[in-house]
Structure 1
Amino acid sequence: MTIQNDAEYQVGMSRLEALNSDNPAHLAEMEALGNALEAYEDSHGHAPVRPDSLVFRIERYMFEHRLKKQELAQLLGITNSRLSEVLNGKRAVNMDLGRRLYTKLQIPAEFVLMHA
């Protein structure tokens, strides 16, 4: 199994999240999919998110509130593509988005300013 592009990567990540590790029937698929995802990440420069980063705080909020990217984008009043660009490090956080992160997600303003 190989992953060729970001679209396949996102589908693979969604599938991996949907699989249940308690089910022995899923273990082989999880291992193969995990290896393919890791190989894609290694070849395309994906790096783990630092725990003290703004991206980590945003992703943690999504996890804690069980939100998908689309739902978070809607909550913040921004487009899905803009949120994806911020989460992937392709776009910096501007003052408007920083204000929304502070008011909607309760990320401390000082933290937003220091990491934007």
Structure 2
Amino acid sequence: MKYSIGTKKDYHETMVKIYRLMDKGEDKLSPSELKQLAAMTVAAERYEDEVLQLQPRKEPSTIAEAVELKMFEEKLSQATLADKLGVGKSKLSEILNGKRKPDVPFLKALYKILKIDAGFLLEHA
């Protein structure tokens, strides 16, 4: 089933339909409703990415950028993040500003606390 969204009004109406179908519960949807839901969600994601540009403009390319993105997503200040990670505020600041290399305990904390991909951390350490 092909589904497309051309305007903000179409997007809004599509999102209302998606929420109504989701409220029913997946186990209560007919096969045709499941196909319709799948097509609408793909179209909504495409509209959000291409028109509304809700996707990040660029993927982080450094550990500092990844940490700053997580801070933004979770609405964390540097001081709060330092406390969560169990590091000093000055150490976090130095790492984010490129004045200090992250050490293994810091990388482990990023992985465990912020759920930053371990592969990314190892590649960029």
The C-alpha deviation readout for 1:55-107, integer Å capped at 9, x for no partner, is: 11100111111111000000000000000000000110111111101000001
User: What residue is the counterpart of 1:76 in the other structure?
Assistant: 85
- Measure, in 1, the Cα distance between the counterparts of 2:104 and 2:86: 14
Within a 5 Å distance, the mapping from 1:7-86 to structure 2 comes to: 51-86=60-95
- Measure, in 2, the Cα distance between the counterparts of 1:106 and 1:51: 14
How large is the RMSD of aligned CA atoms in angstroms?
Answer: 1.2
Unaligned residue ranges in structure 1 (runs of 5+): 1-49
- Measure, in 1, the Cα distance between the counterparts of 2:60 and 2:75: 19
Larger of the two Rg values belongs to structure: 2
State yes or no: 1:99 paired with 2:108. yes
User: Matched residue of 1:78: which SS?
Assistant: coil
User: Once superposed, which parts of structure 1, at least 4 consecutive aligned residues long, lie more than 2 Å away?
Assistant: none
Identity of aligned residues (%): 42
TM-score (structure 2 length as normaliser): 0.52
Deviation of 1:53 (Å)? 1.1
